[in-house]
Structure 1
Amino acid sequence: MKKLVGGLFLAASLVGIGASAHASQINQTSALTFNGTTSDFGAAFGTGTTGQTFTESFTFNYSNPFSVSSAVISIALNNLSALNIDSFTLSGNGQTFAGTKTVVDSVQFFTLNASNLASGLYTLAVSGAVTGSAGGSFGGNISIAAVPEASTYAMMLGGLALVGMGALRRRRDGAAMQAPSMMAA
């Protein structure tokens, strides 16, 4: 009888451990690798992760001022492979930018845009819950564009001013050359 009670207690303990593992948070961090100015990212959660929450973080470092455009998408496949993504954020240098969520039927996607960011370490984070009986997945893309410095704009405006002055001078010189011939006629 003592062995039976001990065995039941052990079995109940193992069930409790399994239930607590099932409700655990999945946290992973990966460094993004850029191909030029773009990078892709994503995660897949397999069978046995249903009901678990997740936060997948993707880090990158950029050494110049920049702007960023990014998107993440997840498609539910007959409740077999499905996620409920709660948030998509970009954070770094004391700032956080939140993506905008759109849901159309079984497709959910987020878009995120941020401009004039200072150089430094940034993190894209995707958070949500696994709702599909066989897990779920998401994929995303990020594009970075360098922001020209103020001196670049000043040089561009100066160059345009010189081109404009040259065109004005040519027009004026051309009009002066044509004026005497018009009077003679």
Structure 2
Amino acid sequence: MKSSKSLIAAIVLATASLGAGVAKAQVIVTPDQALDLVGTSAFFGDAFDVNLRGNTFSENFTFSVTGIPANLDAIVSSISRTAATGLDITGLGLFSSTGRQVALGSSQSTGAIDIWTVTSDNLALGSYYLQVSGNLVSNTSGAFGGAMMLAPVPEPGAYGMMLAGLGVVGYIGLRRRKQK
């Protein structure tokens, strides 16, 4: 009887210790942030508190293309003393409001200074979001910041006018050359 009580106690202790194993990383969830466009440009970013080492984040920054289609250029960066402190940006992407990936960003620099960029041409009218993802690599605080700009897509008529203008300039130059 005594050995069966010991066996039961050992099983209970072993079962309880399974749940107390390794602490798992948390995903830091924040609500989507609407970008405050100044004209067609905006700044965005976020900061994280201390003691969050091992946690990951994925931040969405929403905006809309209105009026005419646009080209997008965006950059995001973070800086720290070393690659082992602060945070590490692991992704930057552009998505439609339905979650469809429109463009995937690329890393320009990694380590103590992380820099990511993303570009997309001919964005149709509608709602989009930039998504910045990464992880916190130390218990110090960390932050990232970025900027984006929308530029109107030139209409085909603008290219025709530009070519016509170049033709006129070329004709004038040719005419002056013949007069000399």
TM-score over 0.5 for the alignment? Answer: yes
| Amino acid in structure 1 at the alignment position of 2:54 | G
Q: Counterpart amino acid of 2:26?
A: A
Inter-CA distance 52–166: structure 2 relative to 1 (3 Å threshold): same
Cα-to-partner distance string for 1:17-50 (whole Å, 9 max, x where unaligned): xx67x72432331111122332111000112433
TM-score normalised to structure 1 length:
0.70
1:35 aligns with 2:38: yes
Aligned residues: 158
- Give, as a single letter, the amino acid of the residue that structure 1 aligns with 2:92: F
Match of 2:149 in 1: 143
Unaligned runs of 5+ in 1: 1-11, 176-185
**Aligned equivalents of 1:82 and 1:69: distance in 2?**
26
Q: Quick check: 1:133 aligned with 2:139?
A: yes
TM-score by length of 2: 0.72
Within 1, Cα distance between the matches of 2:169 and 2:113? 51
Question: CA separation of 1:167/1:105 partners in 2, compared to 1, >3 Å: closer, same or farther?
Answer: closer
**Following superposition, which runs of at least 4 residues in structure 1 exceed 3 angstroms of deviation?**
77-81, 102-105, 162-172
Letter in 2 for 1:99: G
**Greater share of helix residues, 1 or 2?**
1
Aligned to 2:105: 99
For residue 145 of structure 1, what is the amino acid of its counterpart? A
1:67 aligned residue (71, 82, 93): 71
Query: Aligned to 2:30, what secondary structure does the other structure show?
Result: strand
Note if contact 1:80-1:134 (Cα within 8 Å) is conserved in structure 2. Answer: no
Deviations 1:112-137 (A, max 9, x none): 22223222211100011222213311
Residue 28 of structure 1 contacts residue 55 of structure 1 at CA under 8 Å; is this kept in 2?
no
What amino acid is the match of 1:100? S
Q: Distance in 1 between matches of 2:110 and 2:83?
A: 15
Q: Does 1:152 align with 2:154?
A: no
Equivalent residue letter for 1:55: S
Runs (5+) with no aligned partner, structure 2: 1-15
Counterparts of 1:34 and 1:117 in 2: how far apart (Å)?
16
Larger mean Cα displacement after TM superposition, 115-124 or 94-103:
94-103
> Percent of aligned positions with the same letter in both sequences?
36
Report the alpha carbon displacement of residue 54 of structure 1 after superposing the two structures with TM: 1.1
Distance 1:135 1:79, change over 3 A: farther
Partner of 2:91: 87
